[in-house]
Amino acid sequence: MDEIAVLGVGMHPWGKWGRNFTEYGVAAARDALDDAAVDYAEVGFVSGAVTVRCGYPGYVAGSTFARALGFTGAQLASSYSACASGATALQVARGQILSGACEVALVAGADTTPKGFLAPNAGDRPDDIDWLRFHLVGATNPVYFGLHARRRMDLYGATTDDFAMVKVKNSRHGVHNPNARFTKEYGLDDVRNSPVVSDPLRLLDICATSDGGAAMVVSSMEWARSHGHRDPVRVAGISTVSPTYPDPVIDLPYLAADSVADPSAPLVGFKESIGARAYDEAGLGPDDVDVAEVYDLSSAMELDWYEQLGFCAPGEAERLLRDGDTAIGGRLPVNPSGGLGAFGEAVPAQALAQVCELTWQLRGTAGARQVDGAAVGITVNQGLFGHGSSVIVRR
């Protein structure tokens, strides 16, 4: 796959600000344009990642951001794929650039989130599986996180302290991140003493919902080089894969996994397939990765990703964590930004925020969070309803 250049990145700090999401998206976009030293008039395509919690302007995020920056006649798209929306918006922009439809694209996502559990749309909706899981089972998002964490304990002997240690590690990283919402360094006892939300996971094991915004300015490699960006961070792979039937793992928002009674059916792990596609596009593998940003919706989920991205064999993630391999200074630092544990989730911005962090890491400008010598980074996340998301950047 041909590469595109990351000219600039920007974020609006995560928090619980309670303001219009447009404000965060526009602030992030202006930062990204400044960082890229690109005149907004050069942007031929605005790719917005959608929020479904902020009314109609959220559904047409590309237009909303473009109008707030000033309409220029640029082409627009708005993408929604739940937590994967940012990667999808980037994927759409890459397609525009590589097809020659535009040279420079602005990609942005932002959200303003309500307090508490994310919930389905209102009304009586028995044909909506997302409504059914709440109504009939009470299966909130943390319920699924709890099921997977318990499974990890049963299969691999993980402990609740292992999960807590993920939070502790990521909080040590997040202390150094001015865009993070939670900049307190947590200890094991803080996690142990927080209330149980979805057994075995406690409040500090589960990510909050946040307000925030992230944006990127991307271009063709030719345009970058002819405009003074001689050695930009490059996007080498983007994965937005769906699962492969039958997927035996129960995941949100479904009431049932697929049946695997048919022995002739192919068995492809969905989460493993997300990173695999990005590696294929980039022509790289797990051994090439220097730094990763993974979706720690729960602390235990971060451990699953170590294995699903091929950093270790199944069952060995706890050892990587305990050995310090995935802390800054270790062999393969994971979530140097502080991850969702330090940010909370601003859904349409999050996948872009992951790439922003890796861009700073690969430029060597991440300050106290810097991973020495980082040249290849991978992000991974997953949107409910089967949206994979992984981006590989390299220098």
Partner 1 sequence: MAVGVVAVPSQAMSRTRTPAVEGLFTIDDDGEPRLIGGRVPGTQSYFFPKHLGGADPRVGPVELEEVLLSRRGRVWSYTTSHYPPPPPFVVTAEPYEPITIAAVELEQEKMVVLGQCATGVGPDDLEVGMEMELTVDTLYQDDDCDYLVWKWRPADTGLEG
Q: Is 197 helix (H, G, I), strand (E, B) or coil?
A: strand
Binders of partner 1 among 285-314, rule CB under 8 A?
none
Least Å from the CB of residue 10 to partner 1 = 33
Q: Which of 147, 215, 327, 374 binds partner 1 (CB under 8 A)?
A: 147
User: Cβ of residue 57: shortest distance to partner 1, in angstroms?
Assistant: 24
Distance between CA atoms of residues 392 and 292, nearest Å: 9
Q: Tell how strand 201-202 and strand 211-220 pair up.
A: unpaired
Which residues in 134-169 are b (16+ Cβ under 10 Å) and which e? beeeebbbbbbbbbbbbebeeebebebebbbbbbbb
Q: Is 167 within 8 Å of 205 (Cβ atoms)?
A: yes
Which residue of 2, 192, 245, 323 would you call a contact of partner 1, by CB under 8 A?
245
Q: Is residue 112 close enough to count as binding partner 1 by CB under 8 A?
A: no
Q: Which stretch, 37-45, 141-149, 208-216, 286-294, contacts partner 1 (CB under 8 A)?
A: 141-149
For residue 34, the surrounding DSSP H or E stretch is: helix 21-36
Minimum CB distance to partner 1 smaller for 34 or for 272: 272
What secondary structure does DSSP assign to 176-196, as a single string?
A: T-TT-S--PPP-HHHHHTSPE
**Interface positions, 167-196, toward partner 1 (CB under 8 A):** 195-196
Of positions 70, 99, 100, 122, contacts partner 1 by CB under 8 A: 122
Q: Is 142 in the site for partner 1 (CB under 8 A)?
A: yes
120 is a contact residue toward partner 1 (CB under 8 A):
yes
Position 150 contacts partner 1 (CB under 8 A): yes
Nearer to partner 1, 257 or 313 (CB): 257
Binding residue for partner 1, selected from 73, 154, 178, 230, defined by CB under 8 A: 154
Q: Which is nearer to partner 1, 22 or 140 (CB)?
A: 140
Q: Which of 236, 178, 228 is nearest to 375 (CA)?
A: 236
Sequence-ordered list of residues with C-beta below 8 angstroms from that of 132, at least 6 positions apart, any chain: 126, 255
Residues 197-216 that bind partner 1 (CB under 8 A): 197-201
- Cβ distance 48 to 62 under 8 Å? yes
Instruction: Using the minimum distance from each CB to partner 1, give the nearer residue, 73 or 256.
Output: 256
* 151 touches partner 1 (CB under 8 A): yes
Helix (H, G, I), strand (E, B) or coil at 213: strand
Contact status: 129 vs partner 1 (CB under 8 A): yes
First vs last Cα of the chain: how many Å apart?
A: 16
Of 249, 271, 243, 246, nearest in space to 155 by CA:
249
With CB under 8 A as the contact rule, the residue among 56, 99, 228, 256 that binds partner 1 is 256
- For partner 1, the closer of residues 40 and 385 by Cβ is 385
At 376, give phi and psi (nearest 5°): -135, 130
Q: Residue 138, interface with partner 1 (CB under 8 A)?
A: yes
> What residue type is 338 in one-letter code?
G
List interacting residues with partner 1 (CB under 8 A): 116-117, 119-120, 122, 124-127, 129, 131-140, 142-143, 146-151, 154-155, 195-201, 245-246, 248-250, 254-262, 265
